[in-house]
Amino acid sequence: MPPPSDSTSPSDTPVRPENILYGVEDRPPLLVSLQLTLQHISVASASFFLVAVFGREIGLSEDDVGVLIRLAMVTMGIAAILQAVPRGPLGSRRFCPACSGPAYLSASLLAARAGGMPLLCGMMLIVGVFELIASRFLARLRALFPPEVIGVVVLMVGFEVIVVSIPRFAGCTDGRGSPDARSILVAALALAAMVLPAALSRGRLRLYALLIGVAVGYVASWIAGLIPAENFEHMASAPWFALPEFCHFGWKFEAALLVPFLLAALSSTLKGVGDFATAQRIADARWTAPDMPAAGRGVLSLGISNLLVGFLGGMGMSTASSNVGLSLSTGAVSRILLIFLGVGLLALAFLPKIAAVYVLMPEPVLGAALIFAQAFMIVAGLQLIRVGITDVRRTLVVGLALAFSLSVDTMPWLYRGLPGWLAPFFVSSLSLATILAVLLSLLFRIGEKPDSALKR
């Protein structure tokens, strides 16, 4: 094992648990590494679905959506490699990659509709700077990160996707009319093809459940006549190899969007702390509490990744909870695998035909894939909440934050007449849940003895 890095935290020299085959500093055989990389890419592909939805929602052309997906592959690849940096101020040094996260979906849609991609890029530059600054103070702000607060944030990140996934599942994305029977049937078949191997298979088949469901959904969509002939022509005409198009959209800034984007960044940071702590716990048999300096390095790397998003374009980056969970199920948490994953994602960016699969995906299949992916995030949030709730105060933090934040999506008309200075806090249920959970947690901690909530 190599000597400890610049941090003196004990979790920088982890002891491999018995259920882990390849520890943090182990080097799996090449064939094993390639196989594990393919599995992680298949899980990370859920982010490509989200980027495709984002592009469609703001009215981009098919070619432009393909460009965004390939740029997401580039930024995700670089973000994975940054987390593997062995020394210096960068990298969590645990298997915790990043992806284009749903935490930024609402704010990104708001910015893109108001000022196009230049406004989104400008606001993402601010997000990157925010995370760079926050990473330096993370250890001092740990009172903000009890499990129940992180759980509320993770849960609401999952709920945020519902507003774009369920309409696609039902075949009524225009917001009008009734659900379409053919779309529901296709979506149900695709979702069943994902759920069955994930729930019933005990082998490696479950690791490819998402890709299996997408393949079944494509076939069902073709049989049902939901795929226009020009889609096949577009996919066939897409080249197998081409350099990624690094667009310069320019930058715009809007003061009114500061609150939504900073709240999204805070939500992403809170979620990241939970994911970094989980990755540390998985990799170290002696783990007792989160290594906050390591989490700070991870958030710093996320900040750099989001600055890159601001320069290239696309949705913001958050930690990939599903990939952290996959590392536990495969028993491989080697830091080297982050490099393999990063290189693999970068390689995909040179394959336009792969991006076309996501660009032209039928709406019902896209909805099924998002529902399948968000189910794991919702349950992960519930599990964190269950760990964090130990008394009435913490119960009230969760209950009040969820009650008010869910009303943003279920009763949006309640908030239409808010004053201009207050409206940004109610842009999305995630924004409101984050600010309420943090403020209520701090309020209810008054009079408590100082402790480390994350140790429980």
Alpha-carbon span 69 to 382, nearest angstrom: 30
Contact 61, 360 (CB under 8 A): no
Say if residues 121 and 379 touch (Cβ distance below 8 Å). Answer: no
Place of tokens 């984050």: 434
Q: Tokens standing for 224?
A: 């049902």
Query: What does the pLDDT profile of the chain (456 residues) look like in tens digits?
Result: 333 334 444 445 788 888 788 888 889 899 889 988 987 887 788 788 888 889 888 888 888 888 898 999 999 999 999 999 888 889 899 999 999 878 898 899 999 999 999 999 999 999 999 999 999 888 777 766 788 888 898 888 888 878 778 888 988 866 556 788 899 999 999 999 988 987 887 666 766 787 888 889 989 999 988 888 777 777 777 788 888 877 667 889 998 899 999 999 998 998 888 889 888 888 888 887 788 889 999 999 999 999 999 998 888 999 988 888 878 877 888 999 999 999 999 999 998 888 887 777 888 988 888 888 788 778 878 888 887 788 888 899 999 999 999 998 888 888 887 887 788 888 888 888 989 998 998 888 776 665 544 444
CB 402 within 8 A of CB 430: no
The predicted pLDDT at position 231 comes to 72
Q: Which amino acid is at 258?
A: L
| d(C-alpha 316, C-alpha 101), whole Å | 6
DSSP state of 228: -
The neighbour count for residue 379, using CB atoms within 10 Å, is 13
Beta strands 317-319 and 98-100: pairing type? antiparallel
Between CA 97 and CA 105 the distance in angstroms is 19
Q: What is the dihedral of CA 319, 316, 172, 353, to 10 degrees?
A: -90
Q: How far is CA 38 from CA 86, 208, 341, in A?
A: 23, 9, 8
Maximum C-alpha span of the chain:
66
Find the helix or strand (DSSP H, E) in which 303 lies.
helix 292-312
SS3 call for 99 = strand
**Residues in a beta bridge with 100:** 317
In whole angstroms, what is the distance from residue 1 CA to residue 20 CA?
16
The first and second tokens of residue 367, run together, are 């909805």
Start-end of H helices in 45-160: 46-57, 62-83, 105-136, 147-160
For residues 354 and 195, the answer to whether their CB atoms sit within 8 Å is: no
Residue with tokens 């999305």: 428
Whether pTM exceeds 0.85: no
